[in-house]
Amino acid sequence: MWFQREIVLRERPRGFHLVTREVVEALPELAELEIGLLHLLILHTSASLTINENASPEVREDFEAWSDNAVPERAPYWTHTLEGADDMPAHIKASLFGPSLTLPVSRGRIVLGTWQGIYLCEHRNHGGARSLVATGWGSRPGSGSGSEDPAG
């Protein structure tokens, strides 16, 4: 089974935001997969995706503080400056954190560790709504998914 859909995440302020629930709720097809993969791609060059701590908001605040320090605005070496002081740093941050995630799916749910969640990393001051393309594939329960012992 394959499925693909676009998910539009609501606008958020600059920072690192947990979006696990929003992503899962937008993908009812996940429940049909016994075993599979979910690929998420963000369709923007100034925002990114990552997986990290899902409980402590301080972790997300520290991510923002670190990334702002590592990739500062108004650095004298930026030449792409027409779209605002936050634009070029946002492009660099988006490349550092990455545009995509591939997650395992087991028994109708994405597999994350106990303290893991999906982050939308919003690197612009006013980035707007963000779009993801979600592509899922895998087997349905009872379809010979390879869950049998491959050693025989």
Predicted confidence (pLDDT) at residue 7 exceeds the cutoff of 80: yes
Predicted confidence (pLDDT) at residue 150 exceeds the cutoff of 50: no
Q: Which CATH architecture has domain 2-130?
A: Sandwich (2.60)
Buried b or exposed e, range 105-139, using 16+ CB within 10 angstroms: beebebeeeeebbbbbbbbbeebeebebebebebb
Among the residues of 2-128, which ranges form H helices?
20-25, 57-70, 87-97
pTM of the prediction? 0.91
pLDDT at 149: 42
- For residue 152, name the pLDDT band (cuts at 50, 70, 90): very low
What residues does each domain of the chain span? 2-130
